[in-house]
Structure 1
Amino acid sequence: MLPLSSATSIEALSGICGSISIACWVVVFSPQIIENFRRSSADGLSLEFLIVWLAGDVFNIIGAVMQGVLPTMIILAVYYTIADIVLLGQCFYYRGLSGSESTKPPEPEAGRASSSSETATQTVLSSERTPLLHNRPEGEHNGSNSRPAAKQRRESLTSVASLRNHLTAVDGTHLSPAVPLRKEVADTPPRPSSTFQIIAFNAFSITLVCAAGILGWYVSATSRKRHHKGHDIPKSDGTLQFDITGQVFGYLCALFYLASRIPQLLLNWRRKSTEGVSLLFFLFACIGNLTYVLSIFAYSPVCQGKDARCLPGERQSIYGRYMAVNASWLLGSLGTLFMDLAIFSQFIMYRSKNECNNN
């Protein structure tokens, strides 16, 4: 374990956590976008959740610019907004398709053919039950009355011929007792992934992303050391100022981030399911928020004295000002972390219930 009393170790811990957080937030939307594409549906996500989250991203950009945070964080904030818009557009696209397909489907051809053939059969059978010669008085069976009887016979023969032509034109495979009207579905539904498979896949994905974050920090630190010939130039914290406008937008961002999870929690609770929601989506969000908070807490103040030596109480003063400047982002990340843990608990709870019902 790194000795946290060392300024170099604290700076390295902050850099590693920050790099892992950036890596998680870069890929956070990808699992959900892939899940929606695979299912051709986005009914598992709450639109209110995405809209409120997008509002939080917008306030995050404004607050980051006003407060003067690192350019990397501003670029990431813009990236989050673009990715959120893509996910929101995907939801509107699939919900638009499902809305257009919700109209009443046309009657199947087999059903129409069956009903029409039944109607024709009933017509002919009724005509066949009608005697060709009606019961008439004996005096009426003469040459003048034989013409209607012959006409009726011709009409009956015509009806039989038309029925024969109609049945020939209609696909009569469904009329056979050996062939059912609707084909039975022989394909069994795909077996859902086991709990072990889900855990293994998610653990591998998280490990890969965290490794990419650590590698990014190592490359960046090595490059920086080469430029400064083995040691970093101390940076002054005099530019760490408390901007009121930036703080207002920062707290608005935190408020929207916290409120965004509530519609998704309610949707999962009403459906008693998390189907259609990617577990990795919220796992990456949890890890990204956690490592972001750790990167803020792991801060080593740089004092203004000779050789960066601190006067009594100077380190605590600089650290306190630093935490006050980042308080809104800390509140948003910590609060969202607990809300994401609540959604994660829904994954476990509803999956356990579904497995019990299937058994």
Structure 2
Amino acid sequence: MATARFPGKTADVAAANWSVPAPLCVNGTRWILYLLEECVDNVWEYCSVVIGLISMLCFLLSTLPQVYEAYRNGKVEEAMSFGFLFFLFSGDLTSFAGCYLTSQLPIQVVTVVFYIFTDLILISQFLYYKIKNSSSRKSPVLKWLCLMWCGAATLVLLALPKLIMDNSTTLNTQSPTHSKSVQITGYICGYLASVFYLSSRFPQLYKNFQRQSTEGTSYMLFALAMMGNGTYGLSVIVVLPALRDSKKTFIIKHLAWLIGSLGVLILDFLVTAQFILYRKNKSVKSSKLLSVPEVEPLLCEEEELTVL
């Protein structure tokens, strides 16, 4: 989600094609310069980049446990809210649009594409088990919905590589004015993505409350998302002492992604509380069932004696 930690090839780089070339990075860390095209020459920025990469890794791995959990129990439609999946997919799709429009680094674009890919798997699993476990399995509406979704998902997966290739080839031909307007549109997409990410947790919170259970949902999905959002916020805070430019401008530039990350982090604490609460309720219910005395065999024996 939080892919705006690294500024990438934004309008400033596009404008450099029309002006004096930027100075070379002499004292920067080589692997960061090669991987992220970012000049890091002090410990604060170095720590920020490493923490930012950890954040990316957490987000990359977050949905995989839920994919396995859905495959294992086969009841994902009962545990997961479709609203949660829809808003999560919308947030990742809007985040991809923001990265594409602002010409972010290839590693960021590939990361967001992976998010979209895992979202497509989760939604496909939801629809598959919804049809499989539905009492009205022969409903043509559900079948057509599944077919339409598979077709749309295929088109998205085919279109994304083409968009990435076109974006990389047209990067150096943009004028500064056009790049600035596109960058603003990209930041608007960033705010929209934050709204989608924040909205995604509420349907799942309500679903868990309605069921009074979190069974069928992998907690690692939310735990890794919390780690990703927390480390992203930390990566932004750590770099502040090393900034040469205005700290206020830096915060404003990353505000959309900060709101999304820290806001979702707070909501994920509520989801964590639900996991703890409903697990305790489940253990209490199971202990009560174990403590019930076996009365039925005694009653059966008394009935046999009366017959004799």
TM-score category (smaller protein): 0.5 to 0.7
Which of residues 86, 89, 92 is equivalent to 1:51? 86
Map 1:203-222 to 2 at 5 A: none
1:22 match: 56
1:336 match: 264
Alpha carbons of 1:97 and 1:281: their partners in 2 closer, same or farther (altered >3 Å)?
Answer: same
Give me the whole-angstrom Cα distance separating, in 1, the residues matched to 2:180 and 2:238.
16
Q: Say yes or no: does 1:81 pair with 2:116.
A: yes
Number of positions where the alignment pairs a residue of Structure 1 with one of Structure 2: 207
Alpha carbons of 1:350 and 1:268: their partners in 2 closer, same or farther (altered >3 Å)?
Answer: same
Q: Which secondary structure state, in structure 2, belongs to the residue aligned with residue 99 of structure 1?
A: coil
2:160 match: none
Q: Which secondary structure state, in structure 1, belongs to the residue aligned with residue 79 of structure 2?
A: coil
1:264 match: 204
Aligned CA-pair RMSD:
2.5
Give me the whole-angstrom Cα distance separating, in 1, the residues matched to 2:57 and 2:47.
15
Give me the whole-angstrom Cα distance separating, in 1, the residues matched to 2:101 and 2:71.
37
- CA drift of 1:270 comes to 0.5
- In structure 1, give the amino acid aligned to 2:113: V
Give me the whole-angstrom Cα distance separating, in 1, the residues matched to 2:46 and 2:248.
20
- CA drift of 1:99 comes to 1.2
Map 1:216-231 to 2 at 5 A: none
- CA drift of 1:13 comes to 1.7
1:285 match: 225
Does the 8 A contact of 1:56 with 1:254 survive in 2?
Answer: yes
Aligned-pair identity (%): 33
The normalised TM-score by structure 1 is: 0.54
The normalised TM-score by structure 2 is: 0.62
Give me the whole-angstrom Cα distance separating, in 2, the residues matched to 1:247 and 1:51.
21
Does the 8 A contact of 1:63 with 1:246 survive in 2?
Answer: yes
Give me the whole-angstrom Cα distance separating, in 2, the residues matched to 1:84 and 1:335.
20
Instruction: List per-residue Cα deviations over 1:318-347 (Å, max 9, x = no partner).
Output: 332222111101111111111111101100
Larger helix fraction of residues: 2
- In structure 1, give the amino acid aligned to 2:235: S
Give me the whole-angstrom Cα distance separating, in 2, the residues matched to 1:68 and 1:11.
22
Q: Which secondary structure state, in structure 1, belongs to the residue aligned with residue 206 of structure 2?
A: helix
1:213 match: none
- CA drift of 1:11 comes to 1.8
Give me the whole-angstrom Cα distance separating, in 1, the residues matched to 2:272 and 2:284.
19
Does the 8 A contact of 1:10 with 1:298 survive in 2?
Answer: yes
1:120 match: none
Asked which structure has the greater RCO (Cα within 8 Å, sep 6+), the reply is 1
Runs of at least 5 residues in structure 1 that lack an aligned partner in the other structure = 1-6, 104-238, 303-314
The structure having more radius of gyration, on CA atoms, is 1
